[in-house]
Amino acid sequence: MSSSRSKATEGLRQRILSLMGANPSGHTNEQVRAEVSDLLDQYYYEITDTRDLDDVLFHIGTNSFGYQLPTATSCSESTVDQEELLHEIINASDDNDETLLSFDYLKQFIKDVFLSYGIPEDRADVCSDVLVEADKRGIDSHGLGRLKPIYCDRMDEGILFPSPPIHAIKETETTALLDANLGLGLYVGPYAMDLAIQKAKAHGIGFVTVKNSTHYGIAGYYATMATEAGCIGFTGTNARPSVAPTFGVEPMLGTNPLCFGIPTDEPFPFVIDCATSINQRGKIEKYARDGEDTPKGAVVDNNGIERTDTEGILRDMVLGKCSLCPLGGSGTDLGGYKGYGWSTVVELLSTAFQSGPFGEDICGVDRLTGEPKPMPLGHYFLAIHVEHLCPLEDFQTNAGNFLRALRASKKSPLGPGRIWTAGELEYEARLQRSAGSKVPKSLQQVMIELRDKRPGMKEKYPRLPFEN
């Protein structure tokens, strides 16, 4: 890094790297491409005395974000070190300059952002609660960090609508099929699970499916809604394709979470909320930060090769040359067909009732024009009212006894000396985060950007807690 760069220029450089690191698929988003190009133009003209066209910023910009240099010089033959390129992106978003914000403050900020889009207050309140709940549970990948790229940007692009009506296509005493009309999944999900719970309380079971929805946040939120109502909860959703079927190399399935919630007599319910793929992109990014290889069988490229070169995987995922693998891996040796099968179950329950799209039709990008397009997702929500089968207290005690027996069972001498059950880590994270969540510099910048751009936000937040 040149010592001759001014602080302003270095700040601009770090801003560009953070934007690139936060948008590994940004090359498919015209708004991100335009923002990267504008910033790179500024950077180009600010470094006239030390201009280096082999700079990783120009290399990444031209090869992954469609940037064109102001001169005729091309970066396509750059000799930039690929490892330096990946490390600089990854480290740019691994920022330790954090500020602790209370969950009440975060929820109100997120709610106000949603209100600025014209979303009614009751819906904005529910949407903000779903996102903040993820942060409370330590699932930072689905909390505040999702506000802008998954919801605000998509509303700005016109591929997600702020507050369309939800209407029932068909409904019985125990079932319903809803059309969300491309509204916010963060509101659609709670609405649908609440409907399933009400049906279950009245008739023992409630099953609600949804079509034309959008990303609905953490599935565990909905399973927990059921457990708090004395029900067993089951939910899932499809997602944009990133996972190849067993013995395949083409992304056909989403990471498709499979989620169950079971009430217990403990301070927390049993809630298992996990993808049906081995990894998500965020996990591979963590391997890169830690300097580790990706486990064999977790990723396969277009040539059918099981890849372990983490930095190369990240690059090729952006270029569409790699796919994630289902639980169990790319083949059958470790039962990859099982994860593939469970992922297919989620996809079927998210599309078959709904006559919903899948695969390329929910990739979010028009392959001919490169323009963003809607991603109509399907969800399903099942609630089983325990009291229709046995006393709730007996069920909770029985469940708790078994879970405590699991945790008390013999530990591996090579392990951490402890056994956890699903939902326990999230409960402990909630206790540890009672004062709030540490917001990294990159998300502070996002909050500033939303405050400055959204109508009415600057009046409500003239100065954010981390602004000097």
Query: pLDDT for 56-76, tens place per residue?
Result: 677 677 656 667 665 433 333
pLDDT in tens, 281-309: 778 877 887 889 999 889 999 999 999 99
Task: Quote the pLDDT of residue 291.
Answer: 87
pTM score of the predicted model? 0.79
Q: Do the beta carbons of residue 242 and residue 277 sit within 8 Å?
A: yes
Q: What is the CA angle 160-36-12, rounded to 5? A: 125
pLDDT of residue 128 exceeding 80: yes
**Cα–Cα distance for residue pair 60/103, rounded to 1 Å:** 36
pLDDT above 70 covers a percentage of the chain that reads: 83
**Cα–Cα distance for residue pair 104/239, rounded to 1 Å:** 30
Higher pLDDT, 26 or 186: 186
**Cα–Cα distance for residue pair 191/127, rounded to 1 Å:** 11
| Beta bridge pairs of residue 306 | 300
Secondary structure letter of residue 89 according to DSSP:
H
Token pair belonging to 384? 């089983």
Task: Quote the pLDDT of residue 87.
Answer: 44
pLDDT of residue 93 exceeding 80: no
Q: What is the residue whose two structure tokens read 């909905």?
A: 222
DSSP per residue, 85-134: HHHHHHHHT-----EEE-HHHHHHHHHHHHHHTT--HHHHHHHHHHHHHH
Q: Do the beta carbons of residue 17 and residue 44 sit within 8 Å?
A: no
Q: What is the residue whose two structure tokens read 């909770």?
A: 396
Q: Do the beta carbons of residue 154 and residue 185 sit within 8 Å?
A: no
pLDDT in tens, 229-286: 999 999 999 999 999 999 999 999 999 999 999 999 999 999 999 999 998 877 887 7
Q: Do the beta carbons of residue 300 and residue 287 sit within 8 Å?
A: no
Lowest-pLDDT range of 17-21, 59-63, 155-159, 327-331: 59-63
Token pair belonging to 144? 């505040």
Q: What is the residue whose two structure tokens read 């392990």?
A: 415
Token pair belonging to 400? 């708790």
Secondary structure letter of residue 278 according to DSSP:
S
Q: Per 3-state DSSP, what percentage of the chain is helix, strand, and coil (rounded to 5)?
A: 45, 15, 40
Q: What is the residue whose two structure tokens read 């039709």?
A: 361
Give the list of residues 6+ apart from residue 356 with CB closer than 8 angstroms, or none: 211, 212, 238, 350, 376, 377, 378
Task: Quote the pLDDT of residue 373.
Answer: 93
Write the burial class of residue 338 (CB in 10 Å: 0-12 exposed, 13-18 middle, 19+ buried).
middle
